[in-house]
Structure 1
Amino acid sequence: MSALAMNETLAIARLGQRGDGVAEAADGQVFVPFALPGETVRAVRDGDRAQIVEILTPSASRIAAICPLFTRCGGCAAQHMGEGLYAEWKRQQVVTALSRAGITTDVAPLVDAHGAGRRRVTFHARRDENGMRVGFMAAKTHDLIEVEACPVLAPGLARAPAVAKLLANRLRASNKPLDIQLTASEAGLDVDIRGHGPAGDSLRRQLTEAAERLDLARLAMHGEIIVERRAPLQLMGKAAVTPAPGGFLQATAEGEATLSRLVLAAVPKAKRVADLFAGCGPFSVRLAERAQVSAYESEKAAILALSRAVNHTQGLKPVTAEARDLFRRPLLEHELNAFDAVVLDPPRAGAEAQIRRLAASQVPVIAYVSCDAGSFARDAALLVAGGYALERVTPVDQFRYSAHIELVGVFRKSAGRK
């Protein structure tokens, strides 16, 4: 069958969760990347997927992309969406997830938290016959798209592609695929390289020399510091935190600040707060400006970073920080009941074991920060079944143009439920 004979005309009805246009065909749904609701497109179809050949009737919400690599690079899914459509698409992801879990609550409009841009980026490096190629992966493939600049990055990462390229070339003899993570800090670039394996003495000297030449704040490999020329500080409220190499950070500084404001607004009168999955402490240090905080996090390096920051910050109430695996050893009801409020920000999979304990507790208010609407909805249903009311949910967008969405949900123990 010829390519022309495979073409179909499709009417796009809505957007899917990943940003694809969805058409209703006689044999089921067809997903069309980069198509918008209301558009009619001619496309080449393969099963339930199709690729646009021509847009016959464009949507009024279609806008020009800001990056020439859009549709090739896999980093962005939505540069073609107008502001109103984009915001409602992201908000609707949360509404749909909650609806599927049988939960009805107020879902606020999307909060834009892109700010100055993403402060962390990971470049992939692969060797071919022409040397090291450095860039991002294409959508749904392992093809590498070389990148010289990225418009969604913060100004502090402007030279990140060039730095990644130089470091990749220093390591080309290994013939290994590399992931080079660069983070913008108050002191400059903080770099962690993964995939190479341990560095011997000779390579460590070469990398130290490269860090000097590139004026890096810190250079690490697999989380092990090769050289720290300046502490790569991140400002969090009153505190200056030095995260562990490659340690978790919110994608944007504005995103972290926005999530923190929502968390603080949820627990305004709490005197004792538990911060679960606390990371290096972006919520803990801000909460400690007015409440006593007990922070729990499985990564010992993150707990150490938080403790050091607290010890060097004046004007905070007491903060205790404990390394504890909350998946294997969640806080129990009698421990939870000692707090006026609980804040949690678990990984994408959610926190089912800890949530079951929270559902059985008497904690008055819970502020749940999530990066996955589906796992949040599952956990929310458990809390509601345990006597909590989900008062409100606020979607937060710090991964602009991607399908990712953050949110903050506020739960309060219903009166009379024990």
Structure 2
Amino acid sequence: MSSNDIIVSLDIGTSKVRAIIGEVTNGAINIIGVGSADSEGIRKGAIVDIDQTVQSIRNAVDHAERMVGIQITDVYMGIQGNHIGLQTNHGVVAVSNEDREIGEEDIERVLQAAKVVALPPEREIIGLVPKQFLVDGLDGISDPRGMIGVRLEVEATVITGAKTAIHNLIRCVEKADLRISGVILMSLASGQMALTKDEKSMGTVLVDIGAGSCTLAIFEQGNLAATSTLPIGGEYVTNDISYGLRTQTEQAEKIKLKYGCAMIDDAADDQRFKVMRMGSNVEKEFSQVDLANIIEPRMQEVFHLALQEVKRLGFGDKVGGYVLTGGAVSMPGVLQLAQLELQSSVRIAVPDYIGVRDPAYTSGVGMIQYVSKYMKSRPAGASKKTSNRKANPSAPSKPGLFERLKNMFSEFI
């Protein structure tokens, strides 16, 4: 196995941390290793305990390493949350070559120019996605390399985030003795995997429902037009089950996964289960219908809030359909309920790779696809495993890390 072709994505979520190892061979991606660990130290997508988060990352990475027998050194880290902001900017440069042929250097300079935006001190740029290039006023160009021209312009979306949230995530990954090859916006990565070219063009909302949050990404004319995160997800359903059946949250989660159904009409009255109630040692019997009566109103609320947020962002009439993904959408009945609530065409996106055919892996697999398409010149993500990773929290971080993150724009071409 050539280590040059290996890409490792790290998806740090509220309920799980997932490390996915992808091998790229002649442009084709194979998922060769998946590591998953329970997420400790994260609430509603935000880090509340660094040490617990570091341990969760280590557990997930160790799990993936054992599966494949290689040592992971570099990872691509996914980021999302309501602190993410998008703004459009314009960059202009003169073509530097004497023969006026546009080269790699000109593209880098014009992208650098597009990153010159006024930002508050608490925010920083995560990445930059070119919408289109213009050569001497001719627009609609996706890749101007090799063209002849005097003036090169770019219209781009600048992705910004809160420094605190970004640096805390980076700190956790570095304390787990991993180097960060790049930071990727999860909505972009999920869109890469979950949406077709036509869906991105006509206006589609990607709804990623995780445990602690629901992230909406609206794609229009082939680009990410808006993103928003609602602090509601699968955990809220679990909490409702815990209150309704008066049982421990841990048991409520197991019941949800085994017997959960999002539509009362689809639930079976003869499917019954027993629950140990809090404050007693007596088990009480419930049916799947009882459970669906708790789950359906909460899932209805999730879709209702998602629809309201799409309208608030100004895309109410422009949306051609919805695509659902994330761990919470694999429950039976979710698709039918979403179609009723959103009053639109809805489908569920699932990665088409062996071992990760679950909506929960969309972001992680999407990141590998995104990297293989837009960031080909990155260092290898893993090496043959010879010894266990040495924990050394005091080791200096790789020089110029933030500089590299700030200069990621050149890889989006």
User: What TM-score does the superposition give when structure 2 sets the normalisation length?
Assistant: 0.28
Q: Which has the higher helix share?
A: 2
Question: 1 or 2 for the larger relative contact order (CA 8 Å, sep ≥6)?
Answer: 2
Query: What is the TM-score with the length of structure 1 in the denominator?
Result: 0.27
